[in-house]
Chains A and B, each alone.
Chain A
Amino acid sequence: MLVIQHLKVSYGITQVLRDVTFEVPTGKIVALLGGNGSGKTTMLNTLSGMVRPSGGSILFEGKECAGLSADNVVRSGIAQVPQGREVWPSMSVQDNLELGAATRRDWAGIRSDIDDVLSMFPKLAMARKRRAGSLSGGEQQMVAIARALMARPRCLLMDEPSAGLAPAIVGDMVDTILALNKRGLTILLVEQNIGVAAAVAEQAHILQGGEITFSGPAAGLVDNPEVLRSYLGR
Chain B
Amino acid sequence: MELFTYLLLSGLTTGSLYALIALGIVVVNKSTGMINFAHGELFMFSGFVAWMLHVQMGMGYLPSFAIAVAVGFLLGAVTNLIAARPMRNADVVGLVLATIGLAFVFRGAARVIWGGKGDYLSFPPITSPDPVTIAGIMVIPQQIAVLAGAIVIMLVFAAFFRLTRAGKMMQATADNAKASRLVGIRIDRIYMLSFGTGAAIAAAAAVLMAPLTLLYPDMGFSFFIKGFAAAVLGGLTSLPGAVLGGFCIGVIEALAGGYISSSFMEVSAFIVIMFVLVLRPTGLLSFGKLRQV
Measured between beta carbons, the chain B residues less than 8 angstroms from A219 are none
The answer on a CB contact under 8 Å between A80 and B176 is no
The answer on a CB contact under 8 Å between A48 and B171 is no
* Alpha-carbon distance between A14 and B179 when the two chains are bound, in angstroms: 25
Q: Give chain B nearest CB distance to A28 CB in angstroms.
A: 23
Stretch in A93-101, A193-201, A226-234 with 4+ CB within 8 Å of B = A93-101
Proximity bits, B186-198, A CB within 8 Å = 1, else 0 = 1000000000000
* Alpha-carbon distance between A88 and B181 when the two chains are bound, in angstroms: 12
> Which residues, 172 to 216 on B, are CB-close (under 8 Å) to A?
172, 175-176, 178-186
Q: Does A26 contact B (CB under 8 A)?
A: no
Chain B, interface residues (CB within 8 Å), range = 10 to 19
Q: Does B168 contact A (CB under 8 A)?
A: yes
Q: Does A70 contact B (CB under 8 A)?
A: yes
* Alpha-carbon distance between A48 and B184 when the two chains are bound, in angstroms: 10
Q: Give chain B nearest CB distance to A79 CB in angstroms.
A: 8
The answer on a CB contact under 8 Å between A99 and B182 is no
The answer on a CB contact under 8 Å between A90 and B175 is yes
Q: Give chain B nearest CB distance to A144 CB in angstroms.
A: 8
A48, A73, A95, A99: the one contacting B185 at CB < 8 Å is A99
The answer on a CB contact under 8 Å between B184 and A103 is yes
* Alpha-carbon distance between A50 and B181 when the two chains are bound, in angstroms: 8
Measured between beta carbons, the chain A residues less than 8 angstroms from B180 are 88, 99, 102
The answer on a CB contact under 8 Å between A87 and B171 is no
Compute the total of residue contacts between A and B using a CB distance below 8 Å: 68
Q: Give chain A nearest CB distance to B16 CB in angstroms.
A: 25
The answer on a CB contact under 8 Å between A87 and B185 is no
Q: Give chain A nearest CB distance to B78 CB in angstroms.
A: 23
> Which residues, 82 to 113 on A, are CB-close (under 8 Å) to B?
82, 86-91, 95, 98-103
A87, A91, A98, A151: the one contacting B184 at CB < 8 Å is A151
The answer on a CB contact under 8 Å between A87 and B183 is no
B165, B182, B186: the one contacting A48 at CB < 8 Å is B182
B165, B171, B184, B186: the one contacting A88 at CB < 8 Å is B171
Tell me the interface secondary structure of chain B in the complex: helix
The answer on a CB contact under 8 Å between B171 and A90 is yes
Q: Give chain B nearest CB distance to A27 CB in angstroms.
A: 23
Q: Does A64 contact B (CB under 8 A)?
A: no
* Alpha-carbon distance between A89 and B174 when the two chains are bound, in angstroms: 10
Measured between beta carbons, the chain B residues less than 8 angstroms from A86 are 176, 178-179, 182
Q: Does B169 contact A (CB under 8 A)?
A: yes
The answer on a CB contact under 8 Å between B182 and A88 is no
Proximity bits, A48-69, B CB within 8 Å = 1, else 0 = 1010000000000000000001
A88 with B185, Cβ < 8 A, contacts A95-B168, A98-B168, A99-B172 known: no
The answer on a CB contact under 8 Å between B183 and A75 is no
Q: Does A29 contact B (CB under 8 A)?
A: no
Q: Give chain A nearest CB distance to B236 CB in angstroms.
A: 16
The answer on a CB contact under 8 Å between B183 and A74 is yes
A87, A150, A151: the one contacting B179 at CB < 8 Å is A87
Measured between beta carbons, the chain B residues less than 8 angstroms from A71 are 181, 184-186
Q: Which of B175, B178, B179, B185 has the most CB of A within 10 A?
A: B179
Measured between beta carbons, the chain A residues less than 8 angstroms from B175 are 88-91
* Alpha-carbon distance between A150 and B179 when the two chains are bound, in angstroms: 14
A70 with B182, Cβ < 8 A, contacts A88-B176, A89-B176, A90-B175 known: yes
The answer on a CB contact under 8 Å between B178 and A82 is yes
Q: Does A147 contact B (CB under 8 A)?
A: yes
Residues of A within 8 A of B (CB): 48, 50, 69-71, 73-75, 79-80, 82, 86-91, 95, 98-103, 147-148, 150-151
Since A79-B182, A88-B180, A99-B169 are in contact, a sample of 13 more A-B pairs with Cβ atoms closer than 8 Å, ordered by chain A residue number, is A70-B181, A71-B184, A71-B185, A74-B182, A80-B182, A86-B182, A88-B172, A91-B172, A99-B165, A99-B180, A100-B183, A102-B169, A103-B184
A-B contact pairs, 28 of them (CB 8 A): A48-B182, A50-B178, A50-B181, A50-B182, A69-B186, A70-B181, A71-B181, A71-B186, A74-B184, A79-B183, A86-B178, A86-B182, A88-B172, A88-B179, A90-B171, A90-B175, A91-B171, A95-B172, A98-B168, A99-B169, A99-B185, A100-B183, A101-B183, A102-B183, A148-B183, A150-B183, A151-B183, A151-B184
Residues of B within 8 A of A (CB): 165, 168-169, 171-172, 175-176, 178-186
The 3 closest A-B pairs by CB, nearest first: A74-B184, A103-B184, A71-B184
